[in-house]
Amino acid sequence: MTRIYQIFTQLLPGLGPRITKGREAAMESWAPMIGVVEKERNLEVLAEMLKYSNWLVRCDAADALGRVGDSRSVGPLAEALKDSNNLARAAAARALGNIGDVQGVQPLVEALTDGDSTVRAEAAQALGKIGDSQAVGPLTKALSDSHDLVRGRAAEALGKVKDAGAIEALIGLLADNELCIQAIHALANIGQPAVQPILQAVAGNHAICLPAAETLRLIGQQAVGALIEALHHSDAYVRMCAAKAMGQIGGEAVIDPLIKAATDNYAVWSYAAESLSNIGKATVEPLVQALSADNPYAQQCAAELLGRIGDDQVVTPLVKSLADSNPSVRAAVAQALGNLGDCEATKALLDATHDADERVAESAAIALGRINAPTDKLPADEVSHIHVRWRMRTPDR
């Protein structure tokens, strides 16, 4: 290979001035090897190849210039964007992106209106690689292209440019089944400036709640402050979106706000509960404290979540809460103890089966069944009592 490389690089410069059909045929067969010359930076020869009659040679020459990455090639490649062959034009656009020089922006912007969708897609991708804000307007316009490939590349490019001017248009794609993923990642790349506009958009279009939450998750800690504020938004879907994103982002800062959000309506509660469960054991201490809150609904939510998380250290505070004055809280605590499955709660649950409130007594009986509490040492009347409670709550199907 070394010998071929030496011969090829010696012959190549001599081909430039005198192109004959024979030499063009040779170049066609050599086309796959054109990349070899990049180390030698034979820019003039490669630029000359952009004019060869064979489109394959022109494509490979453009690709080679892109790999060399010399800004002096921008002019010839910009001219090659007018090539009669669509694949040669696409190769020229790709090369300009690889070079990454801002001089290539305007020719590539013009290529966004090329009659061939492949060329337009390559131009959009190249503009993303260059990352210049001059391209934001044209790329935003390309989001309305008739071909999904072009629209997707334009969305990806806007994410790489990271200009806030593209946020509104990208949010509009969150409801687009074809381009939702590209829009999510593009907005995530833009980052914190996109957070408030996304939350505002959810209030106007509830259908984008889940993709918006995923976008906010990807933005990460930069979004947490705005998400905490969004838990107090007047629109329930905004609160749901914020709660879901916060649980996926995690961190101590989101725990207390999520616990408070758990007292919201059922839809918001379900997202907040899921989020707190995802965060896991870091939520245990705040939830234990919430068992003593003045709000019975908050106490119930805390008990249910502690049962989901499944940490053994919560058995004692839950058992203590079986004596709460509110029967709904006691019932929720009994259910949580059943979910934990710890036999240490057996005596307390047994006592709770005699609770004056039917819901509490039934919940305690079910909990005893779930933890497989030993009954061989219990008086027969207690065993019978538990069995009756169990049957009352879980009839034969």
In the prediction, which pLDDT does 373 show?
59
CA 222 to chain centre: 14
- The whole-number pLDDT of residue 17 equals 44
Give the orientation angle of helix 195-204 with respect to helix 236-249, to 10 degrees. 140
Query: How high is the pLDDT of residue 53?
Result: 87
| Residue given tokens 């068992």 in the structure block | 291
> Phi/psi class of residue 116: alpha, beta or left (left: φ > 0; alpha: ψ in -120 to 50)?
beta
User: Count of CB atoms within 10 A of residue 26's CB?
Assistant: 14
On whether the CB atoms of residues 47 and 65 are closer than 8 A, the answer is yes
CA–CA dist 133, 24 (Å, integer): 41
Domains of the chain and any CATH numbers? 191-281 (1.25.10.10), 291-397 (1.25.10.10)
* DSSP per residue, 247-313: HHH--GGGHHHHHHHTTS-HHHHHHHHHHHHHHGGGGHHHHHHHTT-S-HHHHHHHHHHHHHHT-GG
**Span 180-216, pLDDT tens digits:** 999 999 999 999 999 999 999 999 999 999 999 999 9
- For residue 17, the Cα-to-chain-centroid distance in whole angstroms is 54
**What's the rounded Cα separation, in Å, for the pair 338 and 351?**
14
- CA separation for the pair 83, 90 (Å, rounded): 9
Q: Which pLDDT does position 370 carry in this prediction?
A: 84
pLDDT less than 50: residues of the chain = 1-7, 9, 16-20, 22-23, 36, 38-40, 377-378, 383, 388, 395-397
Distance of CA 116 to the CA centre of its chain: 31
List of residues 6+ apart from 361 with CB closer than 8 A: 352, 353, 354, 355, 389
How far apart CA 286 and CA 101 sit, in angstroms, is: 54
Q: Which two tokens stand for residue 328?
A: 């709904």
Query: pLDDT tens across 94-126, in order?
Result: 999 999 999 999 999 999 999 999 999 999 999
What is the distance in angstroms between the CA of the first residue and the CA of the last residue of the chain?
79
Give dist(CA 144, CA 10) in Å, integer: 49
Res 95: pLDDT? 97
CA neighbor of 84 nearest in space, from 104, 105, 58, 45:
58
CB 81 within 8 A of CB 110: yes
